Amino acid sequence: MLETRRLVAPIKLDESDVPNILKSLRERGWTPAVLQSQLEFLRLSGLEDSVSPAALLQSERNFPGRHGVYGDIVFRDAEVYFLLTRDEEPTLEVGIISTDTGKVEEHLDEFKDCLQDAIMTTLDGRKTRHMKFNWMKPPDRLSRIGAQRAQEEETGEVRFQPAKISAELIQGAELLAEKPARSILQELSQAGFAREIDIVSRRSRKDEEIKGILDRLKGANLVNTEFLLVCRRTRTPITRLREGDRLKSEHVGTLICPSCGAAFKDENLTEGYTLSELGRHLSQGSHWMTVWVTKRLVDSGVPQESILWNLEESGEEVDLIVGVLNELWIFELKDREFGSGDAHPFNYRRVRYRAQKAIVITTEQVSADAKRVFQELVREAGRSSSLRTVRTPSGGLRRVHTPGIQPLFIEGLENVSPTLETEVAGAAWRSAAERLSLLGEITGFDLSGVVARKFNQAPVPIFT
């Protein structure tokens, strides 16, 4: 799987500094491709001995410094490295694109350390004296997550909260992802209380399997054990006890059954279950799905702080809002079939939040009617879409076509993890392609196209 990693440090480099830093990096075994192409141009022209490469590379006409952006790209082994610095943002950015997922962090650190050493040994000590190489992962440029939270706090209408997952929530959600366990919890939610004998008798599975599921529900703190006292003669319920041993006490055990006149201690006591506070929390609005999907997003590389949960149960909001690098994703989670009646409201919410990706996850399937609704919505958007103005990475403006977006359907929980991993990897590639596109604009090379072919990636429509 293709992965992209980036690091930034609060370092400002002048245009005149960059060529010598790149040349120093080249001497350390890292060959900046754009710099190398310019040096090769001088060699072919026969001017490498009579024209100073540094002077030529620093000129506004030849060095990739138009738009106040400077940088280069390095092809090494099966990986691609890049560095960027901009006048408007006093930061130095380095990145790696690689399929070697186990070594990607290590290799980026190696590149970053060599670049840092090249800077320290190339520049004047008066410039490097105050440089602080505090490398960190860049925050997502997507600010709408923060804007959404700020707007809600200002108006007092808080509908979303940052995702909060704990070991207890995850354990419960993982168990409820299994349909038999979820079915028992749903029965308890509707009935309020159910005896073990009734839970077992209503299912076709073997008694041992059902009892095993009940034990796991208890172990995950999703259900509480209670006891039902039943009249021996009439078989009518008398009362429920949280602790069966209470019948041994003189105060409770000697109470008289109103139906038969026998003492409570002589009546039948059967074990049963009620929902615990955690069980109610996870079953309410199928919140277990929210926790379960959040865990898989985090496992796929999405920062937990980039995930917002919906607090409402009305169904008028999306279940998850997720910032993935520079993109906004919204999720609709259904512990049932996603039907045609769900399609129009979800499309409305996609448009409302201007999401780059809309994802439907269902434990069952998306109905054929719902899929036809989305297909028609995309066709209508294609007929009515208009040109709009967007800003390119270099700061210019461009008019682009804005077609409709077909949601991504994930049917069945077994397909969630592999699909999300693929989608997050795709977002990482699109983010890297944007950085390469920025370099491409200032160098004249189609760098994102070259790297796409190198890694067998589909071309990325950066500006749509």
Q: Yes or no: is domain 167-281 CATH 1.10.3110?
A: no
Burial class (CB in 10 A: 0-12, 13-18, 19+), 353: middle
Which positions of the chain have pLDDT values less than 50?
57-66, 386-387, 390-395, 397, 399-403, 462-464
| Residue type for position 188 | L
Residue where the block lists tokens 């090249």: 118
| Distance, CA of 448 to CA of 440 (rounded, Å) | 7
| pLDDT, tens digit, 9 for 90 and up, residues 102-136 | 888 999 999 999 999 999 999 888 888 888 889 98
Q: What is the pLDDT of residue 289?
A: 96
| Distance, CA of 91 to CA of 73 (rounded, Å) | 17
| Distance, CA of 68 to CA of 48 (rounded, Å) | 27
Edge-to-edge order in the sheet of strand 268-275: 194-195, 268-275, 223-230, 237-241
Residue where the block lists tokens 């901009």: 86
Task: Delimit the domains of the chain by residue range.
Answer: 3-128, 144-163+286-420, 167-281
Residue where the block lists tokens 């040349």: 23
Q: CA angle 360-363-364, nearest 5°?
A: 95
- 15: three-class secondary structure by DSSP: coil
Q: What is the DSSP letter of 248?
A: G
Q: What is the pLDDT of residue 273?
A: 87
| Distance, CA of 321 to CA of 162 (rounded, Å) | 10
Superfamily designation of domain 3-128: Alpha-D-phosphohexomutase, C-terminal domain (3.30.310.50)
| Distance, CA of 364 to CA of 64 (rounded, Å) | 53
| Distance, CA of 205 to CA of 278 (rounded, Å) | 26
| Distance, CA of 336 to CA of 365 (rounded, Å) | 8
Cα–Cα separations (whole angstroms), residue 43 to 61, 74, 249, 393: 18, 20, 100, 32
281 Cβ neighbours under 8 A, 6+ residues apart: 287
Edge-to-edge order in the sheet of strand 160-162: 160-162, 307-310, 320-324, 327-334, 357-362, 408-411
Side-chain-facing half-sphere of 365: CA atoms under 13 Å: 4
Q: What is the pLDDT of residue 170?
A: 96
| pLDDT, tens digit, 9 for 90 and up, residues 232-254 | 777 777 677 776 666 666 667 66
Q: Yes or no: is domain 144-163+286-420 CATH 3.40.1350.10?
A: yes
| Distance, CA of 171 to CA of 164 (rounded, Å) | 14
Chain length of the chain: 464
**CA quadruple 159, 160, 165, 170: dihedral sign:** positive
Q: What is the pLDDT of residue 59?
A: 43
pTM of the model: 0.76
Question: Nearest-CA neighbor of 122 among 9, 34, 11?
Answer: 11
Q: What is the pLDDT of residue 400?
A: 44
299 Cβ neighbours under 8 A, 6+ residues apart: 417
CA 173 to chain centroid? 17
| Distance, CA of 188 to CA of 42 (rounded, Å) | 79
| Residue type for position 181 | A
| Distance, CA of 315 to CA of 309 (rounded, Å) | 13
